């Protein structure tokens, strides 16, 4: 169903010969519901005389199936009169047709229920033929999105904030690609700053070449901890009035970082080794999550010239000012009371996190001319990003209107059993093992899984991801291994189970695909089957809506709703053991459900399993 002609041909087969009215906002080739929208809008336009561009968007999707497949709030049409009376009047005038059942007036609303036969014919073939593309749209065609996410710090612990940024960022990348955008995935490493000086100093004092090569992330982290402990001990001494022998760690670190900022070859060479080794290791870990970055950028990569240029603009425009030898921006003076003050250059001339972000943003626009740039960063950095965007705006960098901060709340209690600082790798391992234990409890099923460890690993990752994406992004949540690895409730394993079960029905029914594709869909009649069908038809709308909310939960919640309807249909809508023509039709429905589930899971970053 690639063209409008195909849709028209399908309608003809249903005996609908009137041409489908064309609406610009409708995407009838990618979204079956838009076919119904177009028809209903046209009839409502004829009945009410209200213009088409008001009627069409007034046809809204519903949260609950009892409210109809589409619902219209009469006041949205802005027609004079009592809305309740108008609803009754319009409903009475609605012509008999094959698209929908007679509409229902409910107070000031009109509920529209699709004719199940028509819906089945328009939806199931569309799902089966589009397969992995069902749900996708092309609204982003020709547009480019730069999505910055994960953005871990080299030599500092990977924390829950990075986990969330990684999961949500990967999801958004998939979503935008699915909707036709060209997506550039960028990891903006925390690979610069005084911390690096500290690390280098410690490495030179007590580092190990061998350990660095073996597991760079682990070793750099150890050095980071040692160096920070030393620095802390020194500070305590100073507080207690004691004098230090020799230079302090902090002074040495500052001096080292200054050498880096001045591009001194030796200082840079060591830093570059740390960076390169860390990236190699990071890539491996991201691969476990099916993530591949297009670009490993980082704070170190921001050009000094760009930052100098930014600094000049800020000075000329009176955005920045001198303060005791440093340069600062006093946002209050520019009318942004809540943003306080920010330093953009230290006394010794070195740059800061914010300074580098300003330069990075300018360079990214220069290089990629993106249509949108998304920063997936914890809400703990709300202020930082507001300051960044405000400075860019004050500087007259118009591209700032294309910049978006996608934020998220905290995760409590993300620790491994040993309680140590967590690395992404160890979290994945640990949840995978926990999953494996859960699977072993069902001996019968466990025996049938060929590669239980691999499956446990995959389901474990689903557990982590779904837990992360179940609530609204801004909500905090506790990292709860027991809860997330459960097969009951709204969990990743539950979704995987639903997928595996559909695969098993397909295997057991053993009906050749061509017969499924040509099944007589009018045999789908049970209320449970129709509920499922109506839910499957919503998927393209769910995707469009997710593009607006940028909330993974929009999809996750849809999936929980869909899989619940699915599981309550099995009792009644049997495939195996049913008469052949009926079995084929039902299999077409379940194969459609599997396709939707699989597409959605992949968008979320999960790998659907076939057995578990
Ligand atoms: N590396 C930073 C951190 O771990 C996050 C970077 C966010 N992105 C940005 N452009 N500032 O806190």
Domains and CATH numbers, the chain: 4-114 (3.30.1360.70), 144-303+357-412 (3.40.50.620), 458-604 (1.10.730.10)
Report whether pLDDT(420) > 70: no
State both tokens at 564.
């619940």
Q: Is 357 in the pocket of ligand 1 (CB under 6 A)?
A: yes
Catalytically annotated residue among 45, 111, 162, 436 = 162
What ipTM did this prediction achieve? Answer: 0.99
Task: Kindly report which listed range (136-150, 421-435, 545-559) carries the lowest average pLDDT score.
Answer: 421-435
Q: Catalytic residue at 159?
A: yes
Q: Helices (DSSP H) in 395-451: which residue ranges?
A: 424-440, 443-448
Q: Which residues contact 409 (CB under 8 A, 6 or more apart)?
A: 378, 379, 473, 474, 475, 476, 477
- State how beta strands 144-148 and 372-376 pair: parallel
pLDDT of residue 348: 84
User: Is residue 298 predicted with pLDDT exceeding 70?
Assistant: yes
Ligand 1 mutation pick, 155, 156, 188, max ligand atoms within 8 A of CB: 188
Query: What pLDDT score was predicted for residue 412?
Result: 87
What does the pLDDT read at residue 418? 58
The crossing angle, in degrees rounded to 10, of helices 116-130 and 4-13 is: 140
Residue 417 has pLDDT above 70, yes or no: no
- Ligand 1 pocket test target in 352, 381, 386, 424 with most atoms within 8 Å of CB: 381
**What integer pLDDT is reported at residue 535 of this predicted model?**
98
CB 373 within 8 A of CB 408: no
- The better pLDDT of the pair 7, 218 is held by 7
Q: How far is the CA of 356 from the centre of ligand 1 (A)?
A: 11
Burial class (CB in 10 A: 0-12, 13-18, 19+), 556: buried
Residue 419 has pLDDT above 60, yes or no: no
Tell me the CA–centroid distance for residue 526 and ligand 1, in Å: 52
What band does 63 get if pLDDT is binned at 50, 70 and 90?
Answer: confident
Residue 517: active-site member: no
Which residue out of 45, 111, 130, 159 is catalytically annotated? 159
Environment class of 225 (CB within 10 Å of its CB; exposed 0-12, middle 13-18, buried 19+):
middle
pLDDT at position 154 over 90: no
Give the chain's radius of gyration (CA, Å): 29
Pocket test for ligand 1, best of 300, 357, 377, 391 (most atoms within 8 A of CB): 377
Q: How far is the CA of 378 from the centre of ligand 1 (A)?
A: 9
Based on the residue annotation, tell me whether 156 is a catalytic residue of this protein: yes
**Ligand 1 atom at shortest distance from the alpha carbon of 361:** 10
CA of 612 relative to ligand 1 center, distance in Å: 38
Which one is catalytic: 45, 156, 230, 252?
A: 156
Going by pLDDT thresholds of 50, 70 and 90, the confidence category of residue 416 is: low
What average pLDDT does this structure show over 547-562? 97
Cα 92 to chain centroid distance, Å, stands at 44
Nearest CA to 477 out of 552, 567, 373, 549 is that of 552
For 189-232, what is each residue's pLDDT tens digit? 999 988 889 999 999 998 999 999 988 888 988 898 899 999 99
Instruction: Determine if ligand 1 sits within 6 Å of the CB of residue 149.
Output: no
| Residue pLDDT, tens place only, 223-269 | 988 999 999 999 999 999 998 888 999 999 999 999 998 899 999 99
Mean pLDDT of 484-505: 96
* CA distance to 290, 456, 519, per residue, from 134 (Å): 21, 28, 19
Least confident of 54-58, 161-165, 293-297, 539-543: 161-165
């Amino acid at each position: 169903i690639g063209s409008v002609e195909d849709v028209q041909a399908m309608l003809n087969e249903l005996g609908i010969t009137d041409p489908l009215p064309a609406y610009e906002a409708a995407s009838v080739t990618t979204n079956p519901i838009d076919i119904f929208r177009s028809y209903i809008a046209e009839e409502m336009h004829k009945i009410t005389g209200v213009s088409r561009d008001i009627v069409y968007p007034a046809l809204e999707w519903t949260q609950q199936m009892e409210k109809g497949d589409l619902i219209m709030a009469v006041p949205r049409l802005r027609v004079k009169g009592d809305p309740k009376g108008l609803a009754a009047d319009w409903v009475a005038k609605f012509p008999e047709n094959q698209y929908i059942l007679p509409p229902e007036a409910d107070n000031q609303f009109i509920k529209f229920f699709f004719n199940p036969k028509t819906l089945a014919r328009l939806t199931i073939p569309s799902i089966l033929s589009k397969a992995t593309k069902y749900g996708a749209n092309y609204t982003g065609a020709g547009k480019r999105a730069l999505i910055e996410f994960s953005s871990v710090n080299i030599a500092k612990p990977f924390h829950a904030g990075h986990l969330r940024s990684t999961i949500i960022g990967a999801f958004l990348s998939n979503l935008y690609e699915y909707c036709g955008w060209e997506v550039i995935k960028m990891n903006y490493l925390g690979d610069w700053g005084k911390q690096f000086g500290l690390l280098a100093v410690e490495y030179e004092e007590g580092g190990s070449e061998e350990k660095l090569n073996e597991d760079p992330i682990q070793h750099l982290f150890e050095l980071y901890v040692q160096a920070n402990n030393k620095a802390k001990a020194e500070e305590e001494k100073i507080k207690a009035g004691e004098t230090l022998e020799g230079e302090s760690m902090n002074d040495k670190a500052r001096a080292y970082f200054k050498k880096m900022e001045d591009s001194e070859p030796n200082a840079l060479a060591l830093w570059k080794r740390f960076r390169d080794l860390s990236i190699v290791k990071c890539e491996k870990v991201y691969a476990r999550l099916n993530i591949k970055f297009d670009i490993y950028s980082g704070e170190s990569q921001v050009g000094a010239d760009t930052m100098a240029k930014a600094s000049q603009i800020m000075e000329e425009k009176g955005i920045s000012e001198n303060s005791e030898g440093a340069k600062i921006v006093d946002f209050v003076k520019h009318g942004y009371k809540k943003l306080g003050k920010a330093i953009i250059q230290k006394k010794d001339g070195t740059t800061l996190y914010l300074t580098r972000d300003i330069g990075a943003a300018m360079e990214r626009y220069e290089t990629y001319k993106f249509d949108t740039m998304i920063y997936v960063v914890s809400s703990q950095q709300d202020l930082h990003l507001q300051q960044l965007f405000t400075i860019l705006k004050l500087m007259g960098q118009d591209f700032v209107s294309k910049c978006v901060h996608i934020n998220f709340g905290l995760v409590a209690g993300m620790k491994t059993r040993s309680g140590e600082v967590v690395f992404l790798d160890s979290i994945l391992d640990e949840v995978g093992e926990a999953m494996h234990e859960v699977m072993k409890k069902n001996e019968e099923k466990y025996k049938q899984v060929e590669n239980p460890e691999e499956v446990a690993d995959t389901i474990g990752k689903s557990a982590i991801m779904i837990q992360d994406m179940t609530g609204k992004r801004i909500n905090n949540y506790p990292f709860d291994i027991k809860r997330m690895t459960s097969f009951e409730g709204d969990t990743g394993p539950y979704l995987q189970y639903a997928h595996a079960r559909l695969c098993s029905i397909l295997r057991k029914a053993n009906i050749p695909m061509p017969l499924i594709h040509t099944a007589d869909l009018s045999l789908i009649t049970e209320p449970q089957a129709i509920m499922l069908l109506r839910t499957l038809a919503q998927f393209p709308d769910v995707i469009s809506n997710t593009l607006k909310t940028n909330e993974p939960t929009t999809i996750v919640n849809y999936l929980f709703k869909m899989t619940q309807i699915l599981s309550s249909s099995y009792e009644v809508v049997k495939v195996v053991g049913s008469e052949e023509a009926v079995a084929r039709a039902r299999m077409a429905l379940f194969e459609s459900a599997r396709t939707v589930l699989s597409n959605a899971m992949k968008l979320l970053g999960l790998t659907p399993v076939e057995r578990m």
